[in-house]
Amino acid sequence: MKVAVVQFWGSNCDHDAEQWSSRLFGLDTEIAWFRDRDLHGADLVILPGGFSYGDYLRCGAMAARTPVMDAVVEHARKGGLVLGICNGFQVLCEVGLLPGALLRNSGLTFLCQDVHLRCETVDSPFTRSIPENAVLRIPIAHGDGNYFTDAETLKRLKGEDRIAFRYVDPKGEIDPDWNVNGSLDAIAGILSEGRNVLGMMPHPERASEALMGSADGAVILESAIETLETAHA
């Protein structure tokens, strides 16, 4: 299987995503430049975190209009796997592959800290290997991670079981104190209608080895690998 990590001007977790995929999982990984429409035949596309175009316009708005995103959208329409992390999630919302928007954190400051995530559905290519009711400890690092959408879309997301992760306390309970950016319904990550696109604000690539303080994020890439291997088998 092949992985492409998209690099925009201002991406800064491209290296981390590439290392996550290649160094920790030994996957064949290439960088896809934003000016190209070439995804190098990737099975999984990762839109990394960072500050594409400085976030000088709305987060992700510029990146969503780059040539490479045409290829990413096409890949997604064909059922290909796309994982957007942090700024990548913002780009997915801006390009219309995921509904809603990421607003300024409710406390108005950038926040970098560990959060606890409850996996809300194992019915997705990115969460299938996560044990039921598992609580993952993974860091966030963002100023605009406050998920918002209209009531109807929220209802649909719930009805279609498309909420992948919620912010919870260490025991796995919803608690406003642990929903640190003020996200609607404590949403930390959502799936597309076809379930092949996942956007999430926390950074699993920063929590995939014990040396970094947590290895809880590894299971997300493990799930994707299992999905692709099963499909290829």
Partner 1 sequence: MPEPAVTVELAALHGLTKEEWERILAIIGRTPTYAELGVFSVMWSEHCSYKSSRIHLKRFPTEGPHVLQGPGENAGVVDIGDGWAVSFKMESHNHPSYIEPYQGAATGVGGILRDVFTMGARPIANLNALFFGQPDHPKTRHLIRGVVKGIGDYGNCVGVPTVGGQVLFHPCYDGNILVNAFTLGVLRSDRIFRGYASGVGNPVLYVGSKTGRDGIHGATMASAEFSEETEEKRPTVQVGDPFTEKLLIEACLDLMAEDVIVGIQDMGAAGLTSSSFEMAGRAGSGVSLDLDLVPMRETGMTPYEILLSESQERMLIVARQGRENEVISIFAKWGLDAVAIGEVTDTGRAEIYFQGDKVVDIPVAPVSDQAPVYDRPSAAPENHEVAPALDLTKIPKRNPQETLLAIVGHPDLCSRRWVYTQYDQSVRTNTILGSGSDAALVRIKGTDKAVAMSVDVNPRYCKLDPYQGGRLAVAEAARNVACVGAKPLAITDCLNFGNPEKPEVMWEFSRAVDGLADAVRALETPVVSGNVSFYNETNGNGVYPTPTVGMVGLLENVSWRKTPWFSKDGDAIVLLGENRGHLGGSQYLWVLFGIEAGTPPPLDLEREKALQSLMCLAAREDLVDSMHDCSEGGLLVAVAECCLAPRSDVGAKLALDSDGLRLSALLYGEDASRVVATCSRSKVDALAGAAGKAGVPMAVIGEVGGRDLVAQIDGKTVVDLPIDEIRMAWEGGLAGVVG
Q: How far is the C-alpha of 44 from the C-alpha of 82, rounded, in Å? A: 6
To the nearest whole angstrom, how small is the minimum distance from the Cβ of residue 155 to partner 1?
33
Handedness of CA 74, 77, 78, 83 (dihedral sign): positive
Judge whether 208 and 20 are in contact, CB under 8 Å: yes
Q: Which of 196, 205, 220, 223 contacts partner 1 by CB under 8 A?
A: 205
State in angstroms the smallest separation of the CB of 41 from partner 1. Answer: 23
Residues annotated as catalytic are 86, 203, 205
Instruction: Among 12, 22, 121, 153, indicate the residue that binds partner 1 (CB under 8 A).
Output: 12
Closest CB to partner 1 among residues 102, 163: 102
Position 22 contacts partner 1 (CB under 8 A): no
List 3, 4, 5, 16, residue binding partner 1 (CB under 8 A): 16
Residue from the set 2, 19, 40, 148 that interacts with partner 1 by CB under 8 A:
19
Helix (H, G, I), strand (E, B), or coil: what is residue 14? helix
State the DSSP H helix or E strand holding residue 110, giving kind and residue range, or none if neither.
none
* Region 37-96 residues binding partner 1, contact defined as CB under 8 A: 49-51, 53-56
Q: Which residues contact 83 (CB under 8 A, 6 or more apart)?
A: 44, 45, 46, 47, 126, 197, 198, 199, 200, 220, 224
Q: Which of 75, 118, 166, 203 binds partner 1 (CB under 8 A)?
A: 203
Q: Tokens standing for 205?
A: 């690539």
Q: Among residue numbers 103 through 142, which ones bind partner 1 (CB under 8 A)?
A: 109-113, 139, 141
**Neighbouring residues of 66: CB distance < 8 A, sequence distance ≥ 6:** 8, 34, 35
Q: By CB under 8 A, name the binding residues for partner 1.
A: 9-10, 12-13, 15-16, 19-20, 23, 49-51, 53-56, 109-113, 139, 141, 143, 203, 205-206, 211-213
